[in-house]
């Protein structure tokens, strides 16, 4: 696992956006460009700066999304697209609507209004597989280490399915719902830990003091279903991009190791 420590949130976002850009450009210039680049995407406050950077690159003509297919991680169950807290709305508002060449038919987001959640999730997995899997999954992390909506104790082999949200997550996310946890949907559709794990590369953004415990558990703790993100310790292409503030619970050894080793790594 790589851990790329940047001074602050802005630098973390710039680094992550540059990494994604380079991956897309490398894909499109190789023989594999006959198939689209498949990009997994998250919502939340963590990726907003990355989306701003990617939009800037796209509008400056530095990065095309014409050959990119996206799959979002999750969606609240019961929220229609037009609800301003649905992840469909978030993604269009913060990202897709600002890109000059994103094809709407290349955007995949789980439908939170589906009448048959099981079938919706099965079809999502099948669609990912039909593209040959996800090339790069960008993700965020909850304060309890959840990845997508895979709360603590979700199986590390889980696939796309319905998830019950913990009270903790509903309290944390209530900041977007008038600070009322009861207004936060109690269930969501989410890709599984196994779905993320099957991606060729996984890039997780971890920033801010409130994520320090989660970062330490992900990087230094044992692999455990209690911290679902820790499953990435077994992934051969996992990168954590973080800021200094999130490093507060790492041991000095770990912190120094990654700063040292990354000096020799390239994007
Ligand atoms: C939600 C999402 C996660 C996201 C997490 C952290 O629970 N389902 O995918 O990683 O929030 O969000 P934030 O980046 O706002 O801290």
CB 27 within 8 A of CB 33: yes
Confidence of residue 39 (pLDDT cuts 50, 70, 90): very high
Measured over the CA atoms of residue 108, residue 241, residue 237 and residue 158, the dihedral's sign is negative
Q: Whose CA is nearest to atom 6 of ligand 1?
A: 142
State the virtual CA torsion across 26, 9, 197, 167 in degrees, nearest 10: -150
Q: What pLDDT, on a 0 to 100 scale, did the predictor assign at position 199?
A: 98
Residue pLDDT, tens place only, 238-248: 999 999 999 99
Q: Round to whole Å and give the CA distance between 16 and 138.
A: 9
**Phi, psi angles (nearest 5°) of residue 42:** -110, 170
Residue pLDDT, tens place only, 209-229: 999 999 999 999 999 999 999
Examine the residue annotation and report whether 93 is marked as an active-site residue of this protein. no
Q: Round to whole Å and give the CA distance between 149 and 163.
A: 7
Residue 39 beta carbon below 6 angstroms from any ligand 1 atom:
no
Examine the residue annotation and report whether 151 is marked as an active-site residue of this protein. yes
pTM (2 d.p.): 0.96
Examine the residue annotation and report whether 81 is marked as an active-site residue of this protein. no
How big is the chain, counted in residues?
Answer: 267
- Residues in Cβ contact with 203 at an 8 Å cutoff, skipping those fewer than 6 apart: 16, 19, 20, 136, 137, 138, 139, 239, 241
Confidence of residue 263 (pLDDT cuts 50, 70, 90): confident
- Other CB atoms within a 10 A radius of the CB of residue 178 amount to 10
- The proportion of the chain whose per-residue pLDDT surpasses 90, expressed as a percent, equals 96
């Amino acid at each position: 696992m790589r851990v790329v420590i940047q001074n602050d949130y802005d630098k973390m976002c710039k680094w992550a956006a540059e990494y994604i850009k380079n991956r897309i450009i490398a894909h499109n210039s190789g023989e594999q460009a006959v198939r689209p680049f498949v990009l997994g995407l998250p919502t939340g406050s963590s990726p907003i700066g990355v989306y701003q950077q990617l939009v800037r690159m796209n509008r400056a003509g530095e990065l095309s999304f014409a050959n990119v297919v996206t799959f979002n991680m999750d969606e609240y169950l019961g929220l229609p697209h037009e609800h301003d807290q649905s992840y469909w709305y978030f993604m269009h508002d913060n990202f897709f609507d600002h890109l000059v060449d994103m094809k709407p038919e290349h955007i995949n987001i789980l439908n939170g209004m589906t009448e048959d959640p099981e079938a919706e999730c099965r079809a999502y997995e099948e669609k990912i597989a039909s593209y040959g899997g996800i090339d790069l999954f960008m993700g965020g992390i909850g304060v309890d280490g959840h990845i997508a909506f895979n709360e603590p104790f979700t199986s590390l082999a889980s696939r796309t399915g319905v998830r019950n949200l913990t009270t903790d997550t509903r309290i944390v996310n209530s900041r977007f719902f008038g600070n009322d946890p009861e207004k936060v949907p109690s269930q969501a559709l989410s890709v599984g830990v196994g779905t993320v794990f099957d991606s060729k590369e996984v890039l997780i953004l971890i920033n801010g003091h409130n994520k320090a415990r989660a970062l330490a558990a992900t990087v230094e703790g044992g692999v455990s279903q209690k911290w679902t993100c820790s499953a990435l310790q077994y992934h051969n292409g996992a990168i954590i991009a973080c800021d200094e503030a999130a490093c507060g619970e790492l041991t000095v050894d770990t912190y120094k190791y990654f700063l040292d080793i990354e000096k020799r790594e390239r994007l």
